[in-house]
């Protein structure tokens, strides 16, 4: 995969549109986790060194009821406040990208200026992948840099149309993400182990199948493993499963050495703080209990496999880790991966939360900003936000 890189793009003295993903968690109007923002800062710094005028375009996730409409509750002003503490020369523009007012406002920038425009999703043409919206966005600059790997799986105007209309390139961090994930799919250091957790098997089944082809081991946890256990006739009590997916996963054999599911679990009657818990073998879950974490024997088995690994790819927690009663599986797994000698790549919001909570970010080889995008990439399918950045496109 040959990408058009930022260093190859003639940006000196030009107005550069940078599609970033600053869709970060907020609490009381404050940014509480800034990995997506900090990952884009080297690209912004490089463009400033080239005396560019910089137009930042991003979104915050809207409620379905307000999609495509201006909603002050989802304004990017808190993100601007965070950025203003990190850099000088940045200005907030309340105009919605892709409107005539935004195009006019973008023409007022001077060399060295950084402009953060309002939430892209306030423009209905963004989510609709409207060519007219893409053309209006392109009118805000001379060239385009895409620094939003986490949005590359979405077919939206700013990702799939905008970079086709002006000279474009991939941002510095996104280039790293694609390089690392491509190495996993190409010639990884072996043994290669994928650790996949989370709630929904429906969103992760394609990547599980892909990883079974590429990896030496695939270790599963979280509620998605419950659906596979149920499909194999193993009692899971009243645990969370996706009933509609049971038939689809019946072919995933638990007798193979490659695919591993929990052999013991932590269970309780409900996911509640202070609730009594028990550890049982995976086949011994009563009808009134929920599986909420992997057990110690599973941790020992998974750690034994992880310590032999040359490459580890991790996406998704092992249980209901938001509560301390059910956090041990995810926490211990995080420590095991961080302490291994393997190349370690992790992605997904909950995965990053677990790593940050334990202050182990620096122990991982690479942290991907994308959860869904990382999974789609590992499936090996073309991605709408990457295709326009390929040299042969």
Look at residue 315 and tell me if it is in a domain. yes
Model confidence at 248: pLDDT above 70 = yes
Q: Is the peptide bond before 191 cis (omega within 30 degrees of 0)?
A: yes
Q: From the CA atom positions of the chain, what is the Rg in Å?
A: 22
Residues 79, 25: Cα–Cα separation, whole Å = 10
Return the H-helix or E-strand segment holding 344: strand 343-346
Residue 148, domain CATH: 3.40.50.1260
Q: How far apart are the C-alpha atoms of 195 and 302, rounded to whole Å?
A: 9
Residue 15 included in any domain:
yes
Mark whether 367 and 238 lie in a shared domain.
yes
- Among 314-323, 324-333, 365-374, which stretch is predicted with the lowest mean pLDDT? 365-374
Domain of 333 in residue numbering reads as 179-379
Asked if residues 277 and 229 have their Cβ atoms less than 8 Å apart, the reply is no
pLDDT at 252: 87
Residue 255 has pLDDT above 80, yes or no: no
Statement to judge: residues 198 and 154 lie in one domain: no
The Cα–Cα gap between 66 and 68 comes to 6
What is the predicted pLDDT for the residue at 61?
83
Answer yes or no: are the C-beta atoms of 106 and 55 closer than 8 Å: yes
383 class by beta-carbon count within 10 Å (0-12 exposed, 13-18 middle, 19+ buried): buried
Are both 211 and 229 inside the same structural domain?
yes
pTM score, two decimals? 0.87
Instruction: Judge whether 23 and 58 are in contact, CB under 8 Å.
Output: yes
1 within some domain: no
Which H or E run contains 4?
none
Confidence at residue 66, expressed as pLDDT on a 0 to 100 scale: 66
| Whether 18 and 145 share a structural domain | yes
Q: Report if residue 128 sits inside a domain.
A: yes
Q: Please say whether the beta carbons of 4 and 169 come within 8 A.
A: yes
Q: Are 311 and 190 spatial neighbours (Cβ–Cβ below 8 Å)?
A: yes
The H helix count followed by the E strand count for the chain is: 13, 17
Separation of alpha carbons 153 and 59, rounded Å: 15
What contacts 165, CB < 8 A, 6 or more positions away? 134, 135, 138, 144
Strand, helix or coil for residue 307: coil
Q: Is residue 390 in a domain?
A: no
Same-domain pairing of 183 and 167: no
Q: What is the mean pLDDT of residues 23-30?
A: 90
Which of 142, 172, 202 represents a domain boundary (last residue)?
172
| Paired residues of 114 in beta bridges | 54, 90
Task: Report residue 63's pLDDT band, with 50, 70 and 90 as the boundaries.
Answer: low
187-194 average pLDDT score: 93
Q: Is residue 106 part of a domain?
A: yes
Looking at residue 141, its pLDDT comes to 97
Average pLDDT, the chain: 93
- Give CA–CA dist 106/142, Å, rounded: 11
Cα–Cα distance between 46 and 162 in angstroms, integer?
A: 21
Residue 71: pLDDT band (50, 70, 90) is: confident
**What integer pLDDT is reported at residue 392 of this predicted model?**
83
Angstrom distance (rounded) from CA 148 to CA 146:
6
For residue 66, what are the contacts with CB-CB under 8 A and spacing of at least 6? 73, 74
Same domain, 350 and 269: yes
* Domain final position from 121, 155, 172: 172
Structural domain count, the chain: 2
Whether the predicted pLDDT of 393 surpasses 80 = no
Give the confidence band of 42 by pLDDT, cuts at 50, 70, 90.
very high
Same domain, residue pair 161 and 309: no
Residue 24 has pLDDT above 70, yes or no: yes
Q: Please report whether residue 387 resides in a domain.
A: no
Chain Cα centroid distance, residue 296: 28
Query: Is 258 exposed, middle or buried, given 0-12, 13-18 or 19+ CB atoms closer than 10 A?
Result: middle
Q: Is 186 helix (H, G, I), strand (E, B) or coil?
A: coil
Domain identity same for 111 and 208: no
DSSP secondary structure string for all residues of 140-173: T-SEEEEE-GGGTTS--IIIIIHHHHS-EEE-HH
389 found inside a domain: no
Indicate whether 211 and 140 sit together in one domain. no
* Tokens read off for 377: 């990439």
Of 143, 172, 201, the residue at which a domain comes to its end is 172
- What are the backbone angles phi and psi of residue 268, rounded to the nearest 5°? -160, 170
User: Are 145 and 227 members of one domain?
Assistant: no
pLDDT (mean) for 210-233: 93
In terms of Cβ atoms closer than 10 Å to its own Cβ (0-12, 13-18, 19+), residue 270 is exposed
Residues 345, 281, single domain; the answer is yes
């Amino acid at each position: 995969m040959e990408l058009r890189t930022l260093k190859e793009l003639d940006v000196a003295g030009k107005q550069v549109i940078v599609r970033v993903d600053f869709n970060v968690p907020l609490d009381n109007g404050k940014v509480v986790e800034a990995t997506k923002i900090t990952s884009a800062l080297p690209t912004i710094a490089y463009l400033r060194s080239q005396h560019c005028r910089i137009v930042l375009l991003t979104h915050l996730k809207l409620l379905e009821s307000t999609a495509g409409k201006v909603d002050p509750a989802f304004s990017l002003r808190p993100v601007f406040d965070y950025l203003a503490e990190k850099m000088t020369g940045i200005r907030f523009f309340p105009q919605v990208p892709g409107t005539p007012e935004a195009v006019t406002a973008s023409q007022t920038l001077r060399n060295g200026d950084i402009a953060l425009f309002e939430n892209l999703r306030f423009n209905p043409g963004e989510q609709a992948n409207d060519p007219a919206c893409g053309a209006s966005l392109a009118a805000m600059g001379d060239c385009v840099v895409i620094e939003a790997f986490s949005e590359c799986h979405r077919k939206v105007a700013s990702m799939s149309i905008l970079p086709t209309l002006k000279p474009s390139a991939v941002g510095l961090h996104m280039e790293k993400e694609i390089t690392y994930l491509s190495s996993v799919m190409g010639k990884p250091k072996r043994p290669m182990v994928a650790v996949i957790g989370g709630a929904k098997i429906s969103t992760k089944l394609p990547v599980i199948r892909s990883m079974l082809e590429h990896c030496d081991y695939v270790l599963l946890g979280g509620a998605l493993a419950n659906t596979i256990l149920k499909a194999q006739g193993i009692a899971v009590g009243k645990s969370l499963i996706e009933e509609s997916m049971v038939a689809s996963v019946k072919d995933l054999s638990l007798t193979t050495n490659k695919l591993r599911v929990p052999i013991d679990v932590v269970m309780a009657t409900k996911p509640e703080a202070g609730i009594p818990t028990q550890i049982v073998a995976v086949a011994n879950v009563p009808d009134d209990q929920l599986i909420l974490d992997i057990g110690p024997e599973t941790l020992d088995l998974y750690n034994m496999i992880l310590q032999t690994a040359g490459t580890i790819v991790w996406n998704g927690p092992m249980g209901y880790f938001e509560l301390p009663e059910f956090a041990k599986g995810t926490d211990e797994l995080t420590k095991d991966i961080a302490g291994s000698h393997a190349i370690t790549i992790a992605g997904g919001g909950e995965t990053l939360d677990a790593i940050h909570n334990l202050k182990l970010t620096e122990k991982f080889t690479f942290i991907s900003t994308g959860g869904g995008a990382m999974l789609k990439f590992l499936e090996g399918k073309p991605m709408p936000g990457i295709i326009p950045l390929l040299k042969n496109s």
